[in-house]
Structures are given as structure tokens and as C-alpha cells.
């Protein structure tokens, strides 16, 4: 756990995010029909989902750890990771909707990928509501950990598997080529750096929230 108190990776996160923003707006991107300059949205939209996946995975890992150890701090990590993941979920939806407005013509065009993402969003909102429904702390931690583990594979099926089975307008789904196949190496490098940058950023936000929760938890406990 000492990792979260070190600062080198936070500096790295800021530098990498700055790099992806500057490079993402300045490099020349391949000119493609319909999408044109909106290719640049790849540098911001896709890393949001990557960051969300990373914090959700951390959350599931700590939910499993909680079930094995019943250590309340593991529950705090799990819930704060879900909070940050939901935030990045919203960012991913918004960046996708703005892009869809400019290429598909509508913010919401009843696309399977968009619909599945909305359902997966409901899934994690249900997790947060479930937490509010239970008063007793240990019971809340245990039951919400169980639901969190249960929800994760469903989320993977919703976002990664189902849209690929049907016709979707989304790049990489339904026979549409993904951007990685039609764009050049520069785009790919910036995209991968973006994955790392925003994932680190999400983890940083989650650790800050976790540390606040930890202080509150210690203040509220009796000893």
C-alpha cells in the first residue's frame, strides 16, 4: 500500500496527460471519410473506458479481498474505485455522445453499443443504491462486495461482447474496422500512452478519495 503515498507516478500521470492532450491536438491524423478530424476523439474517448476498466478491476479485486479478510479498508477501496469508475463512465459516455453527434448525426442513435453502455451504467448505479439500502456496516460491505463481483462479468458481457454480436455503428463492432486498423502508428502510440495516462489519473483520484474516507472512518471509530 506504500505505492499510493508515493508521488513519482502522479507526476508521471500529469506529464502523460499533458502529452496526450498536446500531441493529440497537434499531430496530423489520417483523413478519413465522415470522421475527418474527429479521429482525435479517440485520444480522449477510448482512454476514459480504459481508466474505468482499470478502477473497476481494482474494485473487484478488493471486493474479493474483503470477502476473504473482512477488513473494512478493503471495502472502502472497493467503493471509492466504483465511484471513480462511474465518473469515468459518464465521461466516456459524454465524449462518445459528442463524437456521435458529429459523425452519426444524433447524440443518441439507439446504437447497441450506446444502449449496452447505458445498461451497464444502471448496473453500477444499482450497486451504489444497494449500499444505501443497508444500514449495518459489515453487512453492507459484504453484500455490496458480492454484488460488485456479480456485476463485473455482466458489465464485460454488456460492453465488450453483446455489441460485437449485432450491427453496431461503433468502430470495432459489427464489422466496422477499429481505428487501430486504419490509422497509422503515431495515433496508436498516443492512444496507448493515453491509456496509461488516464488510468493513472483515475487511480490517483481513487486513492485520494480512499484516503479521505479512511480519515473519516478512523475519526468515526471508537478507539
Partner 1 sequence: MELMDQTLTLLKKEILLEWRSKYAFNGVLLYVVSTVFVCYIAFSLSAGFAGSSGYPIVWNVLFWIIMLFASVNAIAKSFVQESRGRLLYYYSIASPQAIILSKIIYNMLLMALLSTLAIIVYVVFFKNVVGDPLLYFTSVIIGSISFSTVFTMISAIASKAGNNGTLMAILSFPVIIPVILILIRFSKNAMDGLDRSLNYGHMGALAAINAIVIATSLLLFPYLWRD
Please report, as ranges, the residues that interact with partner 1 according to CB under 8 A.
67, 116, 119-120, 122-123, 125-126, 129-130, 133-134, 139, 142-143, 145-147, 149-151, 153-154, 157-158, 161-162, 165
Q: Is the Cβ of residue 98 or residue 134 nearer to partner 1 in the bound state?
A: 134
Q: Is the Cβ of residue 100 or residue 162 nearer to partner 1 in the bound state?
A: 162
Q: Is the Cβ of residue 47 or residue 85 nearer to partner 1 in the bound state?
A: 85
Task: Compute the least distance from the CB of residue 91 to partner 1, in Å.
Answer: 20
Q: Is the Cβ of residue 116 or residue 199 nearer to partner 1 in the bound state?
A: 116
Task: Compute the least distance from the CB of residue 149 to partner 1, in Å.
Answer: 6
Task: Compute the least distance from the CB of residue 65 to partner 1, in Å.
Answer: 12
Q: Is the Cβ of residue 18 or residue 157 nearer to partner 1 in the bound state?
A: 157
Task: Compute the least distance from the CB of residue 151 to partner 1, in Å.
Answer: 8
Task: Compute the least distance from the CB of residue 122 to partner 1, in Å.
Answer: 4
Write the DSSP assignment of the chain as a string of letters: -GGGG-SHHHHHHHHHHHHHHHHHHHSPPPP-TTTGGGGGGHHHHHHHHHHHHHHHHHHHHHHHHHHHH--HHHHHHHHHHHHHHHHHHHHHHHHHHHHHHHHTSSS----HHHHHHHHHHHHHHHHHHHHHH--SHHHHHHHHHHHHHHHHHHHHIIIIIHHHHS---STTSTTPPPHHHHS-HHHHHHHHHHHHHHHHHHHHHHHHHHHHHHHHHHHHS--
Amino acid at each position: 500500500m506504500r505505492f499510493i503515498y508515493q508521488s513519482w507516478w502522479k507526476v508521471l500521470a500529469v506529464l502523460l496527460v499533458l502529452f496526450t492532450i498536446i500531441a493529440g491536438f497537434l499531430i496530423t491524423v489520417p483523413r478519413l471519410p465522415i470522421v475527418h478530424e474527429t479521429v482525435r476523439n479517440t485520444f480522449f474517448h477510448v482512454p476514459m473506458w480504459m481508466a474505468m476498466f482499470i478502477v473497476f478491476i481494482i474494485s473487484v479485486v478488493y471486493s474479493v479481498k474483503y470477502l476473504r479478510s473482512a477488513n473494512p479498508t478493503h471495502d472502502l477501496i472497493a467503493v471509492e474505485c466504483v465511484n471513480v469508475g462511474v465518473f469515468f463512465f459518464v465521461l466516456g459516455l459524454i465524449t462518445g455522445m459528442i463524437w456521435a453527434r458529429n459523425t452519426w448525426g444524433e447524440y443518441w442513435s439507439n446504437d447497441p453499443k450506446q444502449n449496452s453502455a447505458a445498461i451497464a451504467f444502471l448496473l453500477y448505479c444499482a450497486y451504489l443504491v444497494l449500499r444505501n439500502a443497508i444500514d449495518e456496516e459489515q453487512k453492507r460491505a459484504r453484500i455490496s462486495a458480492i454484488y460488485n463481483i456479480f456485476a463485473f462479468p455482466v458489465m464485460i458481457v454488456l460492453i465488450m461482447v453483446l455489441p460485437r454480436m449485432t450491427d453496431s455503428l461503433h468502430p470495432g463492432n459489427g464489422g466496422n474496422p477499429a481505428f487501430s486498423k486504419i490509422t497509422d502508428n503515431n495515433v496508436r502510440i498516443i492512444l496507448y500512452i493515453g491509456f496509461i495516462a488516464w488510468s493513472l489519473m483515475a487511480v490517483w483520484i481513487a486513492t485520494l478519495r480512499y484516503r479521505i474516507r479512511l480519515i473519516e472512518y478512523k475519526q468515526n471509530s471508537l478507539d
